[in-house]
Amino acid sequence: MSRVALVTGGSRGIGAAISIALKDAGYTVAATYAGNDDAAAKFTEETGIKSYKWNVADYNESAAGTAQVEADLGPIDVVVANAGITRDAPFHKMTPQQWHEVVDTNLNGVFNTVHPLWNGMRERKFGRVIVISSINGQKGQFAQVNYAATKAGDLGIVKSLAQEGARAGITANAICPGYIATDMVNAVPEKVRDSIVAQIPTGRLGEPEEIARCVAFLASDDASFINGSTITANGGQFFV
Ligand code: CAA
């Protein structure tokens, strides 16, 4: 029987590429989405990957949603915490709401997604936790105090989970994508985006599939001794 993988924010952008890469690698995949019903329906129709709607910022919704996926598809072996949002503003203009929305989704959302699955993985003695962080969690970013804080927090989560899960056959790792050609990056004003691309030695934005391939590797048995690590995939823009 194929392993089951859950990808949050898995019907658009980097998440969609991850869902498809895992399906192509033989997993049974469930993709979550928060609000865009049309995009999710189109994604499911085109790929055959089931999509589920819940808000990762809400613990009870996440617990109920993951339980439903397990009832439909079987125990979740691979969880990819990918769902994330931006609410960019220079700090002097950042509102408490912008801070909390980003923390609730990007940081609390990781807890809410992984925590309901953790005991099952421990009991089955296998699990793969993969968290999609960001280059901006490593280097910080103008107008992203909220986002950078959550993405740096993601790295603390995987380094701690790696230690707790190791004896139970669970690995936890992060990927820090650089600037990838998605709606999120396209929302950055064009002039700013051009100046960012100019800082990428590769000379272009990354492609979602370039991140998805990192996920497929970390999920595989080949990556069994990689635990608590961060894969940096940013075209050479920033070295850790
Ligand atoms: N470094 C230094 N200064 C910067 C800057 C930067 N990176 N970006 C903007 N500024 C400066 C501007 O030059 C301007 O200065 P002046 O006032 O002297 O002209 C000032 O900051 C902008 O101030 P505003 O009051 O006009 O700013 P604003 O309230 O209109 O906000 C912004 C504009 C939100 C900062 C907008 O420029 C923006 O969206 N920037 C991009 C932020 C970014 O990189 N986000 C990443 C999104 S993609 C992502 O997050 C995915 C991932 O993981 C990589």
SS3 track for the chain = CCCEEEECCCCCHHHHHHHHHHHHCCCEEEEEECCCHHHHHHHHHHHCCEEEECCCCCHHHHHHHHHHHHHHHCCEEEEEECCCCCCCCCCCCCCHHHHHHHHHHHHHHHHHHHHHHHHHHHHHCCEEEEEECCHHHHHCCCCCHHHHHHHHHHHHHHHHHHHHHHHHCEEEEEEEECCECCHHHHCCCHHHHHHHHCCCCCCCCECHHHHHHHHHHHHCHHHCCCCCCEEEECCCCCCC
- The catalytic residue among 27, 33, 52, 147 is 147
Output the tens digit of pLDDT for each of the chain's 240 residues. 799 999 999 999 999 999 999 999 999 999 999 998 999 999 999 999 999 999 999 999 999 999 999 999 999 999 999 999 999 999 999 999 999 999 999 999 999 999 999 999 999 999 999 999 999 999 999 999 999 999 999 999 999 999 999 999 999 999 999 999 999 999 999 999 999 999 999 999 999 999 999 999 999 999 999 999 999 999 999 998
Q: For residue 206, how far is its CA from the centre of ligand 1 (angstroms)?
A: 20
Ligand 1 pocket check for 192: Cβ under 6 Å: yes
- Which atom of ligand 1 is found nearest the CA of 90? 35
Which ligand 1 atom lies nearest to the CA of residue 178? 54
To the query of whether residue 147 is one of the catalytic residues in this protein, the response is: yes
Does residue 134 line the site of ligand 1, with CB under 6 A? yes
86 lines ligand 1 (CB under 6 A): yes
> What is the residue extent of each domain of the chain?
4-229
Looking at CATH, the fold of the domain delimited by 4-229 is given as Rossmann fold (3.40.50)
Rounded to two decimals, what is the model's pTM?
Answer: 0.96
If one residue of 94, 133, 182, 192 were mutated to test the ligand 1 pocket, choosing by the most ligand atoms within 8 A of its CB, it would be 192
